């Protein structure tokens, strides 16, 4: 795999994604391992890629040679691969969707949105997600279209795996951002994006690897549960599996960073992550939780950042260094 074009590409996330980390990039940047900045990290692994805010940020600075990304969401993964391999065809299809949609009045747009959403849900069961076909291009264009025109621009499915976000009322949504899609394609040109469980990443990591984990949040409370990125949720047992993997990667000598919402926001006695990652550096940084069914729970909360290394700019404030 050749070194990618990095800073020439300037790509930013092409989807809005629940739990997206754009707002935390500054807080992360000063906590990335020094070796990443100095070129000592050759491999970057992100097993919960979602909208890819952290990946695009790292790629922009051209600091790694090999990038491996995973996600359990089939439609998301084929969309990354279509952008990587078939970007022009995707742009053509998306432009057609955009043109047809934007010329309608609000009522017509709403009707068109639900038609495409229905089509997207009906076509899911017949699609082969393992072997490329031109259906992938059609599906990727629909996913991007729905993301740009749905309420709040989020991705959410019900227990049957059906995309169920309602119509969003935007005056002039940019549905096909051709320039950015082309940049994303360049950035992905030597990146591997795979469908699967986060545990698959283990074999790709060595002592020259940086792994960033951004799993679905452990809900702050039951009504705040938002783990419907895919029909199978992400449960406490998965958080435990992930902590085991974190420790294995640590033993391999990889640098590992993980973020999650801080359960202490809701319950100061909740030491779930403090216990799970005891012995590692745990920092708490302010974040805004945008997605919450209960509007009163939106607003400032803390995000946890767990690291198995000492970052260059650790502040003694709210830091809990038990043993490194």
Ligand X SMILES: C[S@@+](CC[C@H](N)C(=O)[O-])C[C@H]1O[C@@H](n2cnc3c(N)ncnc32)[C@H](O)[C@@H]1O
The site for ligand X (CB under 6 A) is made up of 17, 19-21, 47-48, 50-54, 70-73, 197-198, 214-216, 229-230, 234
Cβ closest to ligand X, residue 95 vs residue 124: 124
Nearer residue to ligand X within complex by CB, 71 or 93 = 71
Residue nearest ligand X by beta-carbon distance:
50
Distance between CA 64 and CA 113 in Å, rounded? 39
Nearest to ligand X of 17, 309 (CB atom):
17
Sign of CA dihedral 75, 229, 68, 3: positive
Nearer to ligand X, 44 or 229 (CB): 229
CA pseudo-torsion sign 143, 145, 146, 147: positive
59 versus 72: smaller Cβ distance to ligand X: 72
Shortest gap between Cβ of 148 and ligand X (angstroms)?
15
Minimum Å distance from CB 287 to ligand X? 12
To ligand X, the closest distance from the beta carbon of 197 in angstroms equals 4
DSSP one-letter code for 218: P
Residue 50 CB, nearest distance to ligand X (Å)? 3
CA–CA separation, 89 vs 149, rounded Å?
21
CB of 245 to ligand X, least distance (A): 11
Q: How far is the CB of 78 from ligand X (least distance, A)?
A: 13
If the CB atoms of residues 112 and 211 are measured against ligand X, the closer one turns out to be 211
Residue 21 Cβ vs ligand X, minimum distance, rounded to whole Å = 4
Which three-class secondary structure state does DSSP give residue 43? strand
The strand pairing partners of 256, in sequence order, are 211
Q: How many CA atoms lie within 13 A of 306 on its CB side?
A: 26
Bridge pairing between strands 209-213 and 191-195: unpaired
- Helix/strand/coil for 319: strand
Strand stretches in the chain, DSSP E: 43-46, 66-71, 191-195, 209-213, 255-261, 281-289, 299-307, 319-321
Nearer to ligand X, 53 or 176 (CB): 53
For residues 213 and 259, is the Cβ–Cβ distance under 8 A? yes
């Amino acid at each position: 795999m050749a070194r990618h074009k990095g800073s020439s590409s300037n790509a930013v996330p092409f989807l809005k994604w629940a739990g997206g980390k754009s707002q935390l990039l500054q807080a992360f940047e000063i906590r990335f391992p020094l070796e990443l900045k100095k070129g000592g990290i050759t491999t970057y692994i992100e097993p919960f890629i979602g909208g890819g805010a952290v990946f695009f940020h790292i790629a922009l600075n051209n600091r790694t040679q090999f990038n491996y990304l995973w996600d359990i969401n089939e439609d998301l993964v084929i969309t990354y691969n279509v952008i990587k391999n078939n970007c022009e065809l995707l742009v053509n299809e998306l432009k057609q969707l955009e043109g047809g949609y934007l010329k309608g009045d609000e009522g017509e747009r709403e009707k068109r949105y639900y038609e495409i959403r229905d089509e997207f849900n009906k076509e899911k069961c017949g699609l082969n997600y393992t072997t490329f076909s031109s259906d992938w291009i059609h599906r990727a264009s629909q996913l991007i279209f729905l993301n740009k025109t749905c309420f709040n621009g989020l991705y959410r499915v019900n227990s049957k795996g059906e995309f169920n976000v309602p119509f969003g009322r935007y005056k002039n949504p940019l549905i096909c951002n051709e320039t950015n899609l082309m940049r994303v394609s360049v950035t992905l040109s030597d990146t591997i994006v795979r469908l699967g469980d986060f545990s698959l990443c283990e074999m790709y990591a060595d002592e020259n690897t940086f792994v960033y984990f951004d799993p679905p949040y452990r809900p702050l409370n039951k009504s705040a549960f938002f783990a419907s990125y895919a029909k199978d949720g992400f449960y406490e047992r998965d958080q435990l599996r992930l902590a085991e993997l974190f420790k294995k990667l640590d033993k391999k000598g990889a640098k590992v960073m993980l973020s999650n919402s801080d359960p202490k926001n809701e319950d100061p006695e909740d030491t779930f992550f403090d216990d799970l990652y005891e012995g590692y550096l745990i920092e708490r940084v302010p974040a805004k939780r945008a997605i919450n069914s209960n509007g009163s729970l939106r607003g400032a909360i803390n995000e946890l950042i767990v690291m198995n290394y000492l970052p260059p700019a650790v502040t003694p404030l709210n830091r809990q260094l038990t043993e490194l």
